[in-house]
Amino acid sequence: MAKGYHSRSPEEFKEYLQNLQNTKRKKNWKQILIFIDIILLMLIFYFVYQNINPGIMNSSGSSGKVTWNQASLSLTASQYNSSANILTYLLVENSTNSSFEFPEPGLHYAYYWKSEKRETCKYSKYDIKIAQRTIQAKSSTVIEIPIPSPDTASKIYECSKEYLSEKSKFGIGALKSKILFLGFIIQDKENNETVLEIPSNPFR
């Protein structure tokens, strides 16, 4: 005789609901554990990447924006440099409704390298010729500026290649490159200075 519909007793129905809740809890815990595993794997890959590319922890490699007359200026370091020069890019933005010439005549330039303790490793006037160009309204242009690297041997240990080639611990097993601060200085006819500064490790 075929089995017919079986009506659950209150005790059986209660046990059935309890089993459903237990099954749901197990599924939730499995999902949580899978999520935790994914997070841990991402952290492992992240720290491995930091160890392979330790310089990435230094900073963004860009300066903050500064205002120069009608222009907004910022400096960014290239990831590809020669031993003699650090290649930087000066971004000139024009957010006004009229065009202007940049740079204006009579400007002077300088650059410096400073340690993390703000000791001056090198400071020099920079006799660079930046061709004047017209920056159209609501536009921007990028100017390539190679800045000489600091000396490999320095009397200041924090400026030396030996010191900057060392790595320091950062976080869980990750390594961080030591840095210098590279400053590009623009000086106008009245000797007012505008400084664009970026963190950089020239010996990375």
What would the pLDDT profile of 89-145 be if each residue is shown by its tens digit?
A: 999 999 999 999 999 999 999 999 999 999 999 999 999 999 999 999 999 999 999
Q: Examine residue 97 and state whether it is found in any structural domain, yes or no.
A: yes
Structural domain containing residue 156: 54-200
DSSP 130: P
Confidence of residue 161 (pLDDT cuts 50, 70, 90): confident
pLDDT for 183: 96
pLDDT for 184: 97
Average pLDDT of the chain, as a whole number: 80
User: Higher pLDDT residue, 155 or 197?
Assistant: 197
- Please count the structural domains in the chain: 1
Q: How far is CA 166 from CA 7, 14, 55, 188, 194, in A?
A: 76, 66, 11, 39, 32
User: Higher pLDDT residue, 120 or 82?
Assistant: 120
Q: Cα 40–46–49 angle (5° rounding)? A: 145
Q: Examine residue 48 and state whether it is found in any structural domain, yes or no.
A: no
Q: Examine residue 64 and state whether it is found in any structural domain, yes or no.
A: yes
Say which CATH number the domain at 95 has. Answer: 2.60.40
Confidence of residue 75 (pLDDT cuts 50, 70, 90): very high
Confidence of residue 78 (pLDDT cuts 50, 70, 90): confident
Q: Examine residue 46 and state whether it is found in any structural domain, yes or no.
A: no
Strands 71-77 and 180-187: unpaired
**pLDDT at residue 163 is higher than 50:** yes
pLDDT for 58: 42
Instruction: Measure CA of the first residue to CA of the last residue in the chain; give whole Å.
Output: 84
